[in-house]
Structure 1
Amino acid sequence: MTPSIPELTDRARDVFRNVVQSYLDTGTPVGSRTVSRISGLNLSPASIRNVMQDLEEAGLLAAPHTSAGRVPTESGLRLFVDGMMHAVAPSAQERAALAAGARERGSVEEAIAATTAALSGLSSCAGLVLVPKREPRLRQLGFVPLGRDKALAVLVGEDGSVENRVLDLPGGVAPGALESAANYLSATLGGLTLSQARQRLGRQIADERAELDTATRALVARGLAVWSEDGGRRPVLIVRGQANLIDPQAAADLDKVRGLLDELEGKEEIARLLDSARDGDAARIFIGSENKLFALSGSSVIAQPVRALDGHVVGVVGVIGPTRLNYARVVPMVDFTAATLAPLLA
């Protein structure tokens, strides 16, 4: 059984903290001479070596076959993160870089992607943001014929986003019906969300105020429905900075790197992992095999819920990186990113 912090002697706690911090800084095994040089513990390398042996027997450190030094185990990292880590707030420059991403011009998704990229660059991890499928407000909707029975529906949202869908045309559509349907949608339903537009269309049809023939009315309804159906699909996952996962240490094991990149392609599983962090009040940290998805690649995930002013969760932001990532620096950075994204997602 892994000991708790109070069960460690002061000497063991100090040696352990120095080993972990040195390992997180360098990514390489830490020897007793390194600890004696950087720690100021006033202990000989031999004494430190004995303490490190005790920590290894307790399951907190491990000795790789290729080195006389030690590295923290996943249990050791968990003990350090939960009870010994001193968080470091993002610098003014880091906060400015994250805020600049959130101010990116264009659609909300582009701003989220820019912020995710900034988080990735600053943390040297892959940045992840999970957001609900947003229902756009209509600015304009047009139809482009693709043949006798199909058309391309082009939706322009008020946020500047543009989306295309191919839809089947109902029977009996006259040549001018596509233009009539587009004009009606843009003039009568502009500024509404898709669900609001469908509700208004239904009321106008019921009140016989929709000046459309039966075929054109069916086309309008189908044009709205093709987007509304997306609302029930899984949330949108944005991933940026996968290249950061291939560092010199990771590159030594190409199978792990390849496996990790494959796992990132399985976005549904990652979305489920991030979604599990929605109920927390603060960041959740998954270290290595604590999560089955990244057990083989030996990766850690930090995930933080994004909350609106009223407290409800509007998304999840996080990073994935090697287990040796700088938790003390990255956890507060993820927290700041969540606060930065909250106004965009509310």
Structure 2
Amino acid sequence: MASPPITELTDRARDIFRRVVEGYLEDGQPVGSKTLAQGGALNLSPASIRSVLAELEGLGLLEAPHTSAGRMPTDLGLRIFVDGMMRVAEPTPEERAQIEQRLSEGGPVEQALQQTSALLSELSGAAGMVMVPTRETRLAQFSLVPLAPGPEGKERALAVLVGEDGGVENRVIDLDTGLFGSLEAASNYITSRLAGRTLAEAAQAIAAEIETGQSQLDDASRALVERGLAVWSADANRRPVLIVRGAANLLDEAAKDDIERVRSLLEDLEDKQSVGMLLESAREANATRIFIGSENRLFGLSGSAVIASPYRDLEGRVVGVLGVIGPTRLNYARVVPMVDLTARSLGKFIT
């Protein structure tokens, strides 16, 4: 039986449903008829309230855990509440200032992303997640610098990559004996074909030149070029695309009664590729997206919710996704606008 839209419920049923959901989101516990009758706000007897609760349960909006006589919202009930009844609590001026201040502290982009993930965790009381931008840095210079021999007398070099944004990264690579004399030629060759391109674009152009015999490199220099590009390409493929902070927040007091669910969630978070695919599905969204429990295959068993929003660079291009993950009893009214504000604020510092 399909559940009706919330607008088709009676005023009494809608009021009781809202109170159950808000009570559950506040403390994570099922809400009983006696609790709802306290204070007389509903002006109904516990028996009348129980009748309405049973009706809502029959519609699939509420459920009664076997350990309690109270009711709690189902995933469907939470979806209907979030889409049609939730009153959003906009961030306070103090929270806005805190977000802006934390994200404007400067430093490399990755540091800003780690700060963002930690900030989301602090503000939501859940785990914060940030996808590393998929847009590759345009490169400016590549250098191979000789190093002192390594273990067993093996020759080594430092491969240094400089981006147009001023970022510098380096990797140590092992060399075959006798290649030191070709380091400068290999460095100059790569730089001349790499400037203004991404690493993938440069590697493709260089590979084509070498394959067709158009390069003027000798065998030693060609081997260095291929070795230098290989270490960077392999590193990029292994680099995590997801930063998660605050997973310990998932082990709160309420989690003690549902430790298996939390264990399942923490295991899900270890699968960064699957989590990344979920966040990627929010890249083209015009607004913050909310995934609740069984709506998403990955977190269906752990009964978790994900709130995600794309963030853009100064030119308006989507470069990543950020969000939070936690139990389905997240404070959606507060966390949704917080995630949205953080995404817009981060975009000001992504160039």
When normalised by structure 2's length, the TM-score is 0.82
Alignment-derived partner of residue 99 in structure 1: 100
What secondary structure sits across from 2:31 in the alignment?
coil
CA distance in 2, matches of 1:234, 1:3: 46
Alpha carbons of structure 1 residues 306 and 171: separation in structure 2 relative to 1, 3 Å: same
Q: Which residue in 2 is equivalent to 1:317?
A: 322
Give the partner amino acid of 1:258.
R
What is the CA–CA distance in structure 2 between the aligned matches of 1:327 and 1:44, rounded to whole Å? 30
- The TM-score with structure 1 as length reference comes to 0.83
Distance in 2, matches of 1:80 and 1:288, equals 14
- 3-state SS of paired residue (2:348): helix
8 Å contact from structure 2 (residues 110, 132) kept in 1 = no
Which deviates further from its counterpart, 130-139 or 11-20? 130-139
Q: Which structure 1 segments of 5+ residues have no match?
A: none
- How many Å separate the matches in 2 of 1:187 and 1:307? 30
In the other structure, the counterpart of 1:263 is: 268
Match of 2:173 in 1: 167
C-alpha distance in 2 between matches for 1:194 and 1:276: 25
State the aligned residue count. Answer: 340
Name the structure 2 match of 1:9. Answer: 10
Q: Distance in 1 between matches of 2:139 and 2:197?
A: 4
Q: Residue in 2 aligned with 1:74? A: 75
Aligned residues with identical type, % of pairs: 57
Partner SS state of residue 106, structure 1: coil
> How far apart are the structure 1 equivalents of 2:219 and 2:25?
67
What code does the residue aligned with 2:293 have? Answer: G
Which residue is 1:273 aligned to? 278
Separation (CA, whole Å) in 1 of partners of 2:302 and 2:173? 42
Alignment of 1:325-336 (within 5 A): 325-336=330-341
- Decide which moves more: 238-247 or 139-148: 139-148
- Counting only pairs closer than 5 Å after superposition, residues 125-144 of structure 1 correspond to structure 2 as 125-133=126-134, 134-135=136-137, 137=139, 141-143=143-145, 144=147
Q: Which residue of 1 aligns with 2:118?
A: 117
Aligned-residue Cα RMSD (Å) equals 3.4
State the partner residue of 1:292. Answer: 297
Q: Does the residue aligned with 1:252 lie in a helix, a strand or coil?
A: helix
Partner of 2:31: 30
**In the aligned structure 1, how far is the partner of 2:104 from the partner of 2:39?**
42
What's the counterpart of residue 283 of structure 1? 288
Deviates more, 1:227-236 or 1:44-53: 227-236
**Where do 1:145-184 residues align within 5 Å?**
145-146=149-150, 147-148=153-154, 150-155=156-161, 163-169=169-175, 172-173=178-179, 175-178=180-183, 180=184
Q: Distance in 1 between matches of 2:167 and 2:39?
A: 53
| Residue equivalent to 1:63 | 64
Structure 1 window deviating more from structure 2 (124-133 vs 217-226): it is 217-226
2:91·2:338 contact (CA, 8 Å) conserved in 1?
yes
Q: Please say if residues 280 and 305 of structure 1, whose CA atoms lie closer than 8 Å, have aligned partners that are also in contact.
A: yes
Q: 1:75 to 1:97 in 2, by over 3 A?
A: same
CA distance in structure 2 between the aligned counterparts of 1:104 and 1:159, rounded to whole angstroms: 17
SS of equivalent to 2:261 = helix
AA of the residue aligned to 2:137: E
Q: State the 1:182 CA deviation.
A: 9.1
Shift of 1:116: 1.1
